[in-house]
Amino acid sequence: MGNVSDRKGSGRMYFDAVTGSYDPQRPLSLQKSLGILRRGLGDPTIRLADTEAWLAFATEHGDATLHITKPSVNSAARFEAWGAGAPWAIEHAPDLLGAADDWSGFDEPEFFSCLPELVQHQRVLHRDLALPRTNRIFDHAAGAILEQRVTGIEANYAWRWLIRHRGRPAPGPAPQGLMLFPRPEELAKLKRWDWQAARVEQQRAQTLGRLAAAASRLEWWAGKDLKAQKPLAAGAGTIESALLSLPGVGPWTVAETLQRSHGSPDHISVGDYHLAGFVGQVLIGRRVDDQKMLELLQPFSDHRQRLIRLLQLSGQKRQSFGPRYAPLDHRGR
């Protein structure tokens, strides 16, 4: 584990950097590990390169800009943060680089030997992959809702529109154009014509409104350990049940959220338009449905998301069959 240093310039928290460092004691790639947090190459909330990353996000203490520098995959990382949320950002920055991501069970010889040969090979090639944990829920759930039933192009357009029209600039000496996703109360103020301009139809807009209303309650779960949760009767008492209580949120949205907020090693995006076909194609040479995908992945429970991330790094391409989704016209919705 690395260390996080005390902040400097505490009297001028907004302008002066809060600093820290973390040595993961293993190879780590910023691009491979943090890439899952980026929603399209034009995402205003993140800048990502081989040796540095800039992220802008809200915390319970206020806005934060986080700058990560890592000269090589084997070096320690240095952190700088600005804004009222800077101390929180520095405290949780190691989680972004896999401090809570334990691959020991995956790499255990008995388990590893049962993995498909392609996955074994990819693990050897990509030991610098970590599953990041952001300890935030709202913006990841919002991004997942925007991706429901539309093309990636449409979802990324809506994400950028909301940020550029209702977001705010990142604090501190951030790169030009780095911005934060809108606050829940800003989403709640949007009118029907705003959603139409963002190319978001009524159903997703209503779901985002419900998410905004529940945001403060959901964020309570952000720092909770998934494995430590003890479900009550009927499955209540977990972050999954809290998210699923919102009409319009289903298992796919929950998985897409927890992969980012908690770095979940096992949540898989059941219901994804492409995923089951891709997994079946790569593992058994033919496209399959969700049920068959779950059967194929069942022997690897607790690590199914790790396996999928490695498959996605393999360079294997999805075969294209059937019609493509076309952009939707939301003017009458």
pLDDT, residue 230, reads 56
pLDDT, residue 76, reads 98
Q: Give the Cβ contact number of residue 25 at 10 Å.
A: 10
Let me know how long the chain is. 333
pLDDT, residue 172, reads 96
pLDDT, residue 4, reads 38
CATH 3.30.310 residue ranges of the chain are 10-100
pLDDT digit string (tens) for the chain, length 333 residues = 333 333 443 333 345 899 999 999 999 999 999 999 999 999 999 999 999 999 999 999 999 999 999 999 999 999 999 999 999 999 999 999 999 999 999 999 999 999 999 999 999 999 999 999 999 999 999 999 999 999 999 999 999 999 999 999 999 999 999 999 999 999 999 999 999 999 999 999 999 999 999 999 999 999 898 876 655 544 568 999 999 999 999 999 999 999 999 999 999 999 999 999 999 999 999 999 999 999 999 999 999 999 999 999 998 876 555 444 455 554 454
For 96-131, give the DSSP string.
HTTTT---HHHHSHHHHHHS-HHHHHHHHHTTT---
Cα three-residue angle 311-316-322, rounded to 5 degrees: 110
CATH 1.10.340.30 residue ranges of the chain are 138-312
Q: Both tokens of residue 143? A: 């991004």
Q: What pTM was estimated for this model as a whole?
A: 0.90
Architecture in CATH of 10-100: 2-Layer Sandwich (3.30)
Output the furthest CA–CA distance in the chain (Å, rounded): 61
Amino acid 123 reads: R
Going by C-alpha positions, the residue among 316, 272, 308, 302 that lies closest to residue 290 is 272
Please give the Cα distance from 274 to 252 (Å, whole number): 12
Please give the Cα distance from 266 to 251 (Å, whole number): 13
**Fold of the domain spanning 138-312:** Endonuclease III; domain 1 (1.10.340)
HSE (CB half, 13 Å, CA atoms) of 29?
A: 12
